[in-house]
């Protein structure tokens, strides 16, 4: 495999895991499983927010208001998987 493709695949995979971690942490905070005032939780939450929000915000602006349901991480994960598969398909063609 081309090293550049490997790097792209790894970065996309890691970002998908960051999106999943951010969603899980937001659920844990929403259901009062973890204390959002804890310094460690606040640091992790802030880091995940800064990593994910720049790509999630445009998707949230396009989506209609679904109440308390936020499906923007799922849509972003699907977009990232589509990009990854398209790049590999174009290279192997």
> What pLDDT, in 10s, does the model give residues 45-88?
999 999 999 999 999 999 998 888 899 999 999 999 999 999 99
Query: 24 pLDDT band (50/70/90 cuts)?
Result: very high
What is the residue-wise DSSP string for the chain? Answer: --HHHHHHHHHHHHHHHHHHHHHHHHHHHHTTSS-TTSHHHHHHHHHHHHHHHHHHHHHHHHSPP-TT---HHHHHHHHHHHHHHHHHHHHH-
Structure confidence at residue 1 (pLDDT): 65
Q: Over the stretch 28-42, which tens digit does the pLDDT of each residue have?
A: 999 999 999 999 999
pTM (predicted TM-score): 0.91
> Which pLDDT belongs to residue 48?
97
């Amino acid at each position: 495999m081309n090293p550049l493709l490997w790097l792209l695949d790894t970065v996309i995979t890691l970002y998908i895991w960051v999106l999943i971690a951010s969603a899980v942490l937001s659920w844990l905070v929403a259901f009062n499983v973890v204390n959002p005032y804890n310094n460690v939780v606040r640091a992790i939450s802030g880091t995940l927010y800064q990593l994910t929000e720049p790509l999630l915000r445009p998707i949230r602006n396009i989506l209609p208001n679904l109440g308390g349901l936020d499906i923007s991480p799922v849509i972003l994960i699907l977009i990232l998987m589509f990009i990854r598969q398209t790049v590999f398909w174009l290279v192997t063609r």
